[in-house]
């Protein structure tokens, strides 16, 4: 069997309120040596150091939306890249509302920057390709949240010879969203899905109010999409036992895992 080429490192699993052992949303995905960050909540750069991730090797950052628990770590990451004398261009993808935030950073904190930040507006109304390289194709898709919010899908680009030995790896990141019918269609064919599951069944009445999902919503979406594996996170601070999220998901979708900060997952 050819070695798997997608490695996910979980940098943050909390929702709006960080805890002593959980940072807000952030992930790192390595595809055949290429490093991508997905969301960048508070504490991202500390977690990157703990997990020995290079600030110089990050090729692109994909931001789902501009709520603070998904971007408050961005300035620190960008600043540290400059301190390491990064020279390579950095691509940042996100909603149009992120543009003035990056402009603010460049205006006030980028004196030492020797690298160029290239911002790419994401405005997907359905599954839309936004980036492609030799190894991976990245697509964006809309989510249903209080503000513009997008998910990201990573599909490995394989030769016919590679596909004879193993299926192409694929991963989708579904950040803050309430359930909606089209989401499972955007995720068709993805083998591993990360889907926020902010609330357990006991707290299900809160999900629609805040445009979030429950364990049941996440598991049902993975089932409808035909995924092989479901990862959940973005846990409400009201629930202290992470195992509850996993057990509730498994009632609907057996191969479910409630991820924790620091987890490293090989994705096939």
| DSSP code at position 168 | P
Which residue is catalytic, options 39, 69, 155, 217? 69
Active site residue 69: yes
- Are 156 and 6 in contact by the 8 Å Cβ rule? The answer is yes
In the 8-state DSSP scheme, what is residue 162? Answer: H
CB atoms within 10 A of CB 15: 26
DSSP state of 260: -
Please give the helix or strand (H or E) that residue 256 lies within, else none.
strand 256-258
Active-site annotation, residues? 69
């Amino acid at each position: 069997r050819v070695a798997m080429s997608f490695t996910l490192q979980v940098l943050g699993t909390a929702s709006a309120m960080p805890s002593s052992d959980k940072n807000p949303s952030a992930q790192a995905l390595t595809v055949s040596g290429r490093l991508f960050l997905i969301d960048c909540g508070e504490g991202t750069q500390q977690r990157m150091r703990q997990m020995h991730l290079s600030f110089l090797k990050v090729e692109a950052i994909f931001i789902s939306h501009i709520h603070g628990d998904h971007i408050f770590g961005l300035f620190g990451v960008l600043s540290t890249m400059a301190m390491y004398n990064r020279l390579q261009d950095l691509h940042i993808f996100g909603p149009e509302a992120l543009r003035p935030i990056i402009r603010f950073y460049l205006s006030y904190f980028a004196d030492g920057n020797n690298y160029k930040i290239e911002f790419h507006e994401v405005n997907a109304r359905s599954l839309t390709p936004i980036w492609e390289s030799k190894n991976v194709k990245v697509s964006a898709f809309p989510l249903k949240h209080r503000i513009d919010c997008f998910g990201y899908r990573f599909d490995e680009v394989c030769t016919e010879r590679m596909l004879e030995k193993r299926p192409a790896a694929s991963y989708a990141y579904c950040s803050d969203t309430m359930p909606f019918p089209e989401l499972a269609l955007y995720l068709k064919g993805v083998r591993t899905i990360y889907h926020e599951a902010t609330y357990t069944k006991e707290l299900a009445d809160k999900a629609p109010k805040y445009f979030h999902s429950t364990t049941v919503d996440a598991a049902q979406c993975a089932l409808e999409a035909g995924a092989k594996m479901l990862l959940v996170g973005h846990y409400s601070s009201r629930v202290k036992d992470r195992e509850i999220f996993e057990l509730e998901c498994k009632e609907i979708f057996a191969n479910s895992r409630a991820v924790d900060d620091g987890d490293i997952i090989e994705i096939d």
